[in-house]
Amino acid sequence: MIGAFDTKNSQNGGSQVELRLDGVHQNADVWLNGVRLGFHPYGYTAFAHDLTSHLNPTGPNVLAVRVDNSDQNSRCYSGSGIYRHTWLTVTGPVRIPLWGVHVTTPEVSERRSVAHVEVSVANLGARPAPAYVRVSVLDPRGHVMATRHAPTRSVGSGATADSSLDLPIERAALWPPDADARPGRRHRHRRVRRRARPLGGTPDGGSGT
């Protein structure tokens, strides 16, 4: 696969650009503008590359993905090439990194449940930056069920700061593991802000940048 894209058309004007491929089968080599970014051998796991330092900011960029699926590798036909979603994420220097959100539910009942959310915030900029994290839980209709804020803190250049939040949820819609259909799904929306300006947010359709 070879494709061209232009970062000047990005809507949020961010400075950090990351490519994520959710599934490439298999032995994938990735290049950007003739520079080899890396190799991913396994065909069933997601992987990502930071494109920022290799981008051409004034013109088109050429991204190439080469797949080698020539050997026998599966009990059945697995397909070949890029078979899952591909994401090009543009953010500012202060952001939630890939796989930077973890959620557990230490307390679950019909009357009251608790979602424990751990969020990492990375600062890829050249200077320390203040940031705070806000996490909201939404019901299937988009209504806010719970919101919590982590205190504002300074994140050093090149550093990552972690925040932990407990969100109580009243009368959560529960279902058994063997249910044919779930009666309702809760959605999370986490947002990082710097000086009251949102830097990035990710609505999540049910489970868990």
pLDDT tens digits, residue range 29-83? Answer: 999 999 999 999 999 999 999 999 999 988 789 999 999 988 777 777 778 899 9
Q: SS3 for 147?
A: strand
Is the per-residue pLDDT at 14 higher than 80? no
The tokens for 167 are 């969100």
Report phi then psi at 8, rounded to 5.
-65, -20
Which tens digit of pLDDT belongs to each residue from 131-142? 989 999 998 888
Rounded to two decimals, the pTM is 0.76
What is the rounded average pLDDT of the residues 2-25? 79
DSSP 13: -
Given this model, what pLDDT does residue 183 score? 54
- Over residues 75-119, the pLDDT tens digits come to 777 788 999 999 999 999 999 999 999 999 999 998 999 999 999
Q: Which of 104, 12, 77, 87 is nearest to 46 (CA)?
A: 87
Three-state secondary structure string covering 31-77: EECCEEEEEECCCCCCEEEECHHHCCCCCCEEEEEEECCCCCCCCCC
Q: What is the per-residue pLDDT across 163-192, written as a single tens digit (0 to 9) for each? A: 999 999 998 888 777 655 555 555 556 566
